[in-house]
Amino acid sequence: MREICARCGGVFRGVWALRLLWCKTDEFYVCRRCWEWECGEGHGKGWKSVGTPVREIAAMTLIFGLCAGGAFGPTAIAEGVLITGWFSLAIGSLATLPFAAVAVHLVRLRSRRRELHRTKSQGVRPSDVSRETVPRDESLPWRPNPVWSVPRRFAVAMAALVPTLVLVVAMWLAFSPLDREDFYFLTVFGGMFLGIGAGFPLMWASGGGRGPRAIAVSNRGVHFWYPSPYERRLADGYIAWDEIAFIGVRGSGENSERVIERKNGVRENLGPLSRANFRFLVDKWTRRRGPGP
């Protein structure tokens, strides 16, 4: 998975590509830094990039239909238009045998946002974000913030284990006298379980964990340090005191969340901070704000 910021040309790969922001005025994807520095508040910040591209959804749909086999029954080859005026998806017969050879012509699908972004970012020169090196300002009183992450080797091992388990289960299903209902149940829910087992470790490995590795408070504001160059482009590294309207907990019960709110209404999630660092930040904000409601 690969996406480019339409303003600075930064190339984001893997799970980082899903965290680009949609500029509502110019209608293309940008990194967080470009949205704040160049787009401006008047442009509006849309939701992050769609979690799963349409082509991945189409591929998983075909795999699901293939595993479920006769649950859909044989159908004639036909074409269906996903979005009028865009690309179409041709689905062939899945037949009644789950392991039969199936020839399916799959046209690459793209969402409307991705088409607009691709068109408007054609003249932008790409740059490799992963090569950026920015030293941390050691003059600030940094406090370490532990962030849980999955080791890359463990994630790769899990991803390699899943295809092996799929092959073993497929062989077992092929030579076991199972009822049709039992077969559908095992293929569908077993496939979902194996897919999730490989997906989450890979997501964490490609992203390297989320959240700042250190925080600092100065007379100017609150500072966050992210070791990953991707994270530095996609998250706030500094928020001035005069921009902050609130630091604390919003909501109650299961809906409560630790946040830092700007005066312009933008809310940042402080969930990745440790409890000690969150209390430290709230205490600093309370002392600076002074007595009040």
Which residues face 30 on adjacent strands? 21
| H helix or E strand, kind and range, residue 260 | strand 257-262
**Least confident interval from 52-56, 60-64, 73-77, 122-126:** 73-77
pLDDT for residue 66 is more than 90: no
pLDDT for residue 50 is more than 50: no
Separation CA 284–CA 123 (nearest Å): 46
Tell me the mean pLDDT in the region 45-51.
Answer: 50
Q: How far is CA 204 from CA 30, 74, 237, in A?
A: 22, 39, 21
Q: Are strands 127-128 and 10-13 parallel, antiparallel or unpaired?
A: parallel
Which amino acid makes up residue 1? M
Per-residue pLDDT reduced to its tens digit, 222-281? 999 988 888 888 888 889 999 999 999 988 877 888 999 988 777 888 888 889 999 999
Separation CA 293–CA 279 (nearest Å): 18
Per-residue pLDDT reduced to its tens digit, 133-185? 888 889 999 999 986 555 556 656 666 676 677 667 666 666 666 555 566 56
Structure-token pair, residue 24: 């509502």
| H helix or E strand, kind and range, residue 225 | strand 221-225
pLDDT of residue 246: 92
Which residues face 12 on adjacent strands? 3
pLDDT for residue 26 is more than 60: yes
Tell me the mean pLDDT in the region 39-55.
Answer: 54
pLDDT of residue 99: 40
Separation CA 176–CA 83 (nearest Å): 42
Which residues face 111 on adjacent strands? none
Which amino acid makes up residue 21? L
Per-residue pLDDT reduced to its tens digit, 211-220? 889 999 999 9
Calculate ∠ Cα 151-208-56, nearest 5°: 100
Torsion of CA 53, 59, 63, 66, to 10 degrees: 140
Task: Name residues whose C-beta falls within 8 Å of residue 151's C-beta, 6 or more positions apart in sequence.
Answer: 205
- For residue 205, name the pLDDT band (cuts at 50, 70, 90): low
Going by the DSSP 8-state scheme, the letter that residue 123 receives in this structure is T
